[in-house]
Amino acid sequence: MTKHKIAIGGIKHETNTFSNVKATVDMFKQNEWESGQEIINNHRGVGDYLGGIISKGEEMNVELIPTFWASANPMGLITREAYQELLANLLSSIKQVRDLDGICLVLHGGGIADGVEDLEGSILSEVREVVGKKIPIVATLDLHANLTETMINEADALLGVNFYPHTDCYERGQEAVETLIDIVEGKIKPVMHFEKLPMMIPSSTSDHSPVKDINERCWKWEEQQGVIDCTFFHGFSHTDIPDMRLSVLTTTDGDQELAATISRDVTDEIWDLREDFYLPLPGPREGLEQALSEQGGPIVINETSDNPGAGAPGDGTHLLKEMIEMNIEHACFGFMYDPETAKAAHEAGIGSRISISLGGKTDSLHGSPLAVHAYVKALSDGKFVHSTEMYKGKKMNLGKSARLQIGHVDVIVCSIRAQTFDEQMFILHGIDVTDYKIVALKSENHFRSSFTPLAKKIITVDSPGLSCYNLQNLNYKRVNRPVYPLDKGFNRREDKGSSELQ
């Protein structure tokens, strides 16, 4: 029997339309921009989607044809030129493959390019145009996808991660290959139904309720005969498009009615729990005071409102300003995006003292630059390997980096925007976070995978920012209304909230 021939690749971006930083070709090239064999070499053994696809493909003796793969950090709109180039690369490499049996793509679901609001719908349509109706396409998605009819129409199956932190990227990649091969061999005929809800939620971890309970309901349904997948998509709320939405996607083996019943059941539960997604969070000063009143440590404080992993600038100073003013002992902060300061520290050298204007340079929302004197304690090239479950083994490069001491506070400064996933960047600069009373970082939830086991307590603080928890602080103009929590006391329009396709 001849081997099944599967093309793999993808384009991944989560777009925060409130950000003024554009996703250019350079931004993608700085992060991931790979062709052909490079894809296999860079992802084999890594705990990401492509790592899972490659491992399962090789295990099942599939002939994997790597095409094109690119991803950029979350930020503002993808420029028109960047999208044209990304798409041209993906399509031309797929066109070169002969006798293809199927396509396995890694997408996000929350991407937007200048003039293209449904990036993944557009990519899937273009790929479909190239390969025709008969070649199955299966794609993985992030749970922060804003699902659309086009995406569901053009793909044969869409598999989203269930966990936030997204510790199951690798497993979803593996599952995508298994599902694709089952379709190729005629063992299953997936049909999908997605049910959307007129509501949006702030960043919500699956470690706790209500997401934990909703996931359990999805998994219970997955135990039923004929159910291939049931996933709760949180949507990506830090973006202002009409189609921004929460949804539940159910995939069954040919049973459209069952898929609809399940999606409706889960969305009913989410709607009932809508108020539980909104907890009152302390501001930076209040959060620090709470942390200092605790015995022992480390107390991890995450500045949820400035998460570069959701398109925020990563140079916000609201939390760091308070830490410096309070001159907290045994405190560290990681990290501040500030290439100018990193360069100044490298030029001055280890052991020198520098006067700097730290952070607050991208916009005015995230706080002003801090005029401070700092001692240069350590310098690095910003290169490390992730230990977080989500991206285990992935090589990172945050550019010229430095550990500065400002009063008692240790601050890591880097040259490429990035959220804090694990403690590797601290270790690189000689910091053992378990020795500290307070470990402050910029992330909404992905940090939990590595920091929950070592933290005595986690305190989330919110302040003005592009990834703020309090969504009422964002100036939404285009999102379809009514939408909870911007609007309250309206009736959920059952009849307009669903979509039956395929």
Q: Pick between residue 107 and residue 372 the one whose CB is nearest to Zn ion.
A: 107
CB of 234 vs Zn ion, minimal distance in Å? 8
**Residue in 104, 86, 284 with CA at minimum distance from that of residue 184:** 104
Q: Is 144 in the site for Zn ion (CB under 5 A)?
A: yes
Q: Pick between residue 4 and residue 172 the one whose CB is nearest to Zn ion.
A: 172
CB of 388 vs Zn ion, minimal distance in Å? 14
Contact window for Zn ion (CB under 5 A) among 141-149, 225-233, 313-321, 347-355: 141-149
Q: Which residue intervals of 223-363 are DSSP H helices?
A: 256-272, 284-292, 318-326, 339-348
CB of 480 vs Zn ion, minimal distance in Å? 21
What are the backbone angles phi and psi of residue 212, rounded to the nearest 5°? -55, -45
CB of 248 vs Zn ion, minimal distance in Å? 16
**Residue in 461, 406, 463, 403 with CA at minimum distance from that of residue 433:** 403
Contact window for Zn ion (CB under 5 A) among 139-147, 186-194, 223-231, 399-407: 139-147
Pairing label, strands 102-106, 299-303? unpaired
DSSP state of 77: P
Q: Pick between residue 100 and residue 270 the one whose CB is nearest to Zn ion.
A: 270
CB of 353 vs Zn ion, minimal distance in Å? 40
Q: Which two tokens mark 126?
A: 């273009």
Q: Pick between residue 144 and residue 238 the one whose CB is nearest to Zn ion.
A: 144
Q: Which residue intervals of 60-103 are DSSP H helices?
A: 80-95
Interface residue with Zn ion among 101, 142, 156, 195 (CB under 5 A) is 142
Contact window for Zn ion (CB under 5 A) among 142-150, 254-262, 357-365, 448-456: 142-150
Q: Which two tokens mark 189?
A: 């005929």
- Answer yes or no: are the C-beta atoms of 462 and 468 closer than 8 Å: yes
Q: Pick between residue 55 and residue 307 the one whose CB is nearest to Zn ion.
A: 307
Distances (CA, A) of 27 to 70, 263, 415: 10, 37, 13
Residue 203 CA to residue 30 CA, distance in Å, equals: 26
Q: Pick between residue 47 and residue 284 the one whose CB is nearest to Zn ion.
A: 47
> In 79-226, where do the E strands start and end?
102-106, 137-141, 157-160, 190-197
Q: Pick between residue 390 and residue 396 the one whose CB is nearest to Zn ion.
A: 390
The size of the interface with Zn ion (CB under 5 A), counted in residues, is 2
CB of 161 vs Zn ion, minimal distance in Å? 7
* φ/ψ bin of 248: left (φ > 0), alpha (ψ from -120 to 50), beta (otherwise): beta
Pairing label, strands 157-160, 409-414? unpaired
Residue 43 CA to residue 12 CA, distance in Å, equals: 15
Q: Pick between residue 331 and residue 390 the one whose CB is nearest to Zn ion.
A: 390
Contact window for Zn ion (CB under 5 A) among 21-29, 136-144, 246-254, 404-412: 136-144
Contact window for Zn ion (CB under 5 A) among 2-10, 134-142, 451-459, 484-492: 134-142
Contact window for Zn ion (CB under 5 A) among 94-102, 135-143, 213-221, 347-355: 135-143
Q: Which residue, judged by CB position, is nearest to Zn ion in the bound state?
A: 144
What are the backbone angles phi and psi of residue 214, rounded to the nearest 5°? -65, -40
Site of interaction with Zn ion (CB under 5 A): 142, 144
